Amino acid sequence: MEIHPISGALGAECTGVDLSVLSDALMFEIKTALMDHQVIFFPNQNLSTVEHRDLAMKFGTLDIPKFVPPFEMPKVKGHPEIYQLLKEKDDQSINIGGFWHADVTHRELPNKLSTAYIIDAPDYGGDTLYSSLYLAYETLSEGMKSMLLDLRAVHTSEMPYGGKSVRSPAISRSQVIAAEEFNFDMNNVEKDVIETSHPVVRRHPDTGRQLLYVNRGFTSRFEGMTRAESLPILDYLWRHTERPEFTCRYRWSERTLGIWDNRCVLHCALNDYYGQRRLVHRISVNEDERPSS
């Protein structure tokens, strides 16, 4: 497997590998590359739904996505662990993931990592941005690091999802069709606002490196403080994590698989491909234990 870094901060493209044939030696290489580069991409793959699932299972327990209104997550028939992000050419609906975030940090056990397999890619647009939370922490002043060290932050589903439990009229036609076609379970609904707290300075369980564990999508306030008291510092930290020199940008092509480490990476999906179809299959893996410092 050849590894080609795509920025000075994080990210690498991996070539010369067939992910449909997984040996123990290859999985060791993949996991090592992910720890080293935080987000990795494998172009020119030809994965079936089962092969995509089997690869994700090598990393841990698969997440079963819930319907979180107004963001409907249609699932692939027979595979409740796989949801599809589908936009048809004429869709002008909301852009799922169009803000800087790590996935589902409002849960006690957030996603450890996520995978995305691009089935239909637009000719241009639809890139994804990624940012390193290692670099975000390491470039803070010593005074700021000291202040944040013992703080915990409250992460809530009310931030990106609005705390609503009804279907939004903004839901796209193609997603409604896909939900019906691919057996979306309306009983698997995250109806209530969920909140949990995590350390602001987190230690990665595999690498041992410290990182800044806040994100604009889910982090609401510091534990023991009001939102008004927290916002000035949080706003600074959010903007700090999103600095261009901490990021990479990836242009997807069809049959590319991406894997990113949600514990130390933020991502943001761009919605700049109106008039083109895009279809992505997503599988996420849950953390083994709660984030700790």
Q: Considering 198, 216, 221, 282, which one is annotated as catalytic?
A: 282
Q: What is the pLDDT of residues 50-74, one digit of tens each?
A: 999 999 999 999 998 765 555 556 6
pLDDT digits (tens, 9 = 90+) for 32-43: 999 999 999 999
Residue 189 clears pLDDT 60, i.e. is over it:
no
Look at residue 161 in the predicted model and tell me its pLDDT: 52
Half-sphere exposure of 274 (CA within 13 A, CB side): 6
Mean pLDDT of 255-280: 95
pLDDT at 57: 97
Catalytic residue among 155, 221, 240, 267: 267
Per-position DSSP letters for 21-78, written without gaps between them? S--HHHHHHHHHHHHHHSEEEE-S----HHHHHHHHHTTSPBP-PPBBTTB---EETT
Q: Which of 103, 155, 198, 216 is catalytic?
A: 103
Q: Are 39 and 259 in contact (CB under 8 A)?
A: yes
Domain extents in the chain:
2-285
Of 37, 52, 79, 101, the active-site residue reads 101
* pLDDT, tens digit (0-9, with 9 covering 90-100), for 122-131: 999 999 999 9
CB distance 5 to 11 below 8 Å: yes
**Is 254 strand, coil or helix?**
coil
Q: What is the pLDDT of residues 230-254, one digit of tens each?
A: 999 999 999 999 999 999 999 999 9
The whole-number pLDDT of residue 96 equals 67
pTM over 0.85: yes
Lowest mean pLDDT among 160-164, 165-169, 186-190, 217-221: 165-169
Q: Which has more pLDDT, 82 or 210?
A: 210
pLDDT at residue 171, as a whole number? 44
Q: Of 77-91, 127-141, 155-169, 184-198, which one has max mean pLDDT? A: 127-141
C-alpha distances in angstroms, 281 versus 61, 74, 257, 276, 277?
17, 10, 9, 17, 14
Say whether 101 is catalytic.
yes
CATH number of 2-285: 3.60.130.10
Q: What is the mean pLDDT of residues 111-116?
A: 98
Q: Is 240 assigned a catalytic role?
A: no
For residue range 75-84, list pLDDT tens digits in order.
Answer: 777 888 988 8
Mean pLDDT of 87-98: 74
Q: Please name the helix (run of DSSP H) or strand (run of DSSP E) that holds residue 161, with its range, or none.
A: helix 158-161
User: Are 261 and 34 a contacting pair, CB within 8 Å?
Assistant: yes
Q: What is the CA radius of gyration of the chain?
A: 18
Our answer to whether residue 282 is catalytic in this structure is yes
Distance CA 289, CA 208 (A): 15
Inform me whether the pLDDT recorded for 109 exceeds 90. Answer: yes
CA gap 52, 40 in Å, rounded? 15
Element (H, E) at 4: strand 2-5
Q: Which two tokens stand for residue 221?
A: 């306030």
Of 52, 160, 57, 58, nearest in space to 104 by CA: 160
Gap between the terminal Cα atoms of the chain: 34
Pull the structure tokens for residue 1.
């497997």
53 is catalytic: no
Query: Residue 10: which pLDDT band, with cuts at 50, 70 and 90?
Result: very high
